[in-house]
Amino acid sequence: MELIRKSMFRYLLIILIALFSMIFFAPEIAAKEANVTVTIEIKSFLWIVSIVGGCIATTLAYVSYKKYKSMKKKQTNDKSNS
């Protein structure tokens, strides 16, 4: 159980780092290449997308962990009743 929790946390951390780098560094790199400045509206939109996406990812991770925990408990109870 602990191993799955650590691996799930590791994957979630990798995803969050990748999203962070794509959201905050990609527009600036593209703007430098095109000699165009990034507007405030795009940055605020990206902030909203990252916050909402982070909430969704966190919720999905929490729900999957709770489901895994309940399934493990059910399997343990079934084995002890047999």
pLDDT in tens, 29-50: 555 555 555 566 777 788 888 8
Could you tell me the CA-to-CA distances from 3 to 9, 30, 40, 47, 69 in Å, in that order?
10, 39, 42, 32, 13
Residue 54 above 70 pLDDT?
A: yes
- Can you tell me whether residue 35 is helix, strand or coil? coil
| pLDDT at site 59 | 92
Q: Taking Cα atoms as reference points, which of 15, 2, 6 lies closest to residue 57?
A: 15
The model's pTM: 0.49
In the predicted model, what is the mean pLDDT of residues 13-27?
72
Higher pLDDT, 25 or 52: 52
Percent of the chain having pLDDT more than 70? 68
The domain ranges of the chain are 37-71
